[in-house]
Amino acid sequence: MWKRGTLSLERKKAMYGILFISPWLLGFILLMVIPFFQSLLFSFHKLSLTSDGYTLENVGFANYHNVFFVDPWFIRSLTEAVSNMALNLPLIIFFSLFTATLLSQKFRGRMFARAIIFLPVVLASGVIAKLDNGNFLAQFIGSATSDLEGNYSGLKSVELRPLLLQAGMSIEVVNYLTGAVDRIYQIISKSGVQILIFLAGLQSISPSLYEAAKIEGATGYEAFWKITFPMISPLLLTNTIYTIIDSFYNNGVTQMIQDTAFTRLDFGISAAMSWVYFVIISAILGVSTYLISKRVFYYD
């Protein structure tokens, strides 16, 4: 017979986890379940607007056939979105971890350094540019931010390429590194949340671990790989998932889905595009979570 106070620690943790996700779960059930399955229904039908609402005509997999074999741009845009994510993901994770490690150190002017690091994040968010559309300064900041995200000519890698080639690096590695330099503003602006998460994790590590390692003669390099990196490995998984989702949040594919639905009024094809996009993202998240979770260290 069950008695009060006999819950095990693992069961209590499970209950706390369910309680933590309950607001999202309740919101999903009340607000998202019906549109979720309704969009799946639309993807197998041709939707026509009428004076009474809309009518559905069953077309089977014709919408998916159109997406894969008729539309010349969707697969190309999807491939480009996945490629950009794969290129930027390790750069964002590395930059955010490196920056958080530096900002977690105690030095004079640390708060000022943190403000400088997060300035591109604030500008890229578009909040300042949207405060007042009639304000000239706001419009100037918005246009400057767009230029920086696009092709900011001040951070090009013209001099870096021959230097790396002369050092003996392969052309593939050189192209990747120089491309990262060309996209440095985009990488910084996409790393704000990840830096905060890593910074919170670094500050939660007990100083006694580093003191014990120092007494044993461990170097800073050894302390990072034996203490810091394992302790923040769960946050590495969290930031990877967040970065993948954030990279797919707004790009050419999402714009194409919106234009197909609300400009061309092809709601069935738009729903099929959405579900293909959803399946691809889910597969990438599943594989990434499985591979990284095998290396995650959880400290109890």
What is the per-residue DSSP string for 11-73? HHHHHHHHHHHHHHHHHIIIIIHHHHHHHHHHTTEEEEEETTEEEEEE-TTHHHHIIIII-SS
Tokens 């304000």 identify what position?
135
Angle between helices 192-203 and 74-103 (to 10 degrees): 40
Contact (CB, 8 A) for 205 and 231: yes
Q: Report strand pairing: 53-58 vs 45-50.
A: antiparallel
> Helices (DSSP H) in the chain: which residue ranges?
9-27, 33-42, 62-65, 74-103, 110-124, 136-151, 160-166, 171-182, 184-189, 192-203, 207-215, 220-223, 229-231, 233-247, 252-262, 267-293
Burial of 84 (0-12, 13-18, 19+ CB in 10 A): middle
Tokens 């996209």 identify what position?
183
Dist. CA 155–CA 183, nearest whole Å: 8
Give Dmax over CA atoms of the chain in angstroms: 79
pLDDT in tens, the chain (300 residues): 445 557 777 888 888 889 999 998 999 899 999 999 999 999 999 988 888 888 888 998 999 999 999 888 999 999 999 998 998 899 899 989 998 888 888 778 777 777 777 776 666 555 554 554 444 444 544 554 455 444 444 445 666 677 666 777 777 777 777 777 777 777 887 888 888 899 889 988 888 988 998 888 888 888 888 888 888 989 999 999 999 999 898 888 999 999 998 888 889 999 999 999 999 999 999 999 999 988 887 765
Dist. CA 110–CA 216, nearest whole Å: 29
Query: Residue 53 pairs with which residues in a beta bridge?
Result: 50
258 closest CA partner among 271, 246, 245, 275: 271
Q: What is the DSSP string of 83-104?
A: HHHHHHHHHHHHHHHHHHHHHT
Two structure tokens written together for 194: 């990840």
DSSP assignment letter at 251: S
Give CATH for domain 41-144+153-294. Answer: 1.10.3720.10
Dist. CA 13–CA 10, nearest whole Å: 5
Domains in the chain: boundaries: 41-144+153-294
pLDDT at 102: 86
Secondary structure class of 187 (helix, strand, coil):
helix
Dist. CA 38–CA 267, nearest whole Å: 11
185 closest CA partner among 229, 237, 146, 132: 146
Contact (CB, 8 A) for 74 and 67: yes
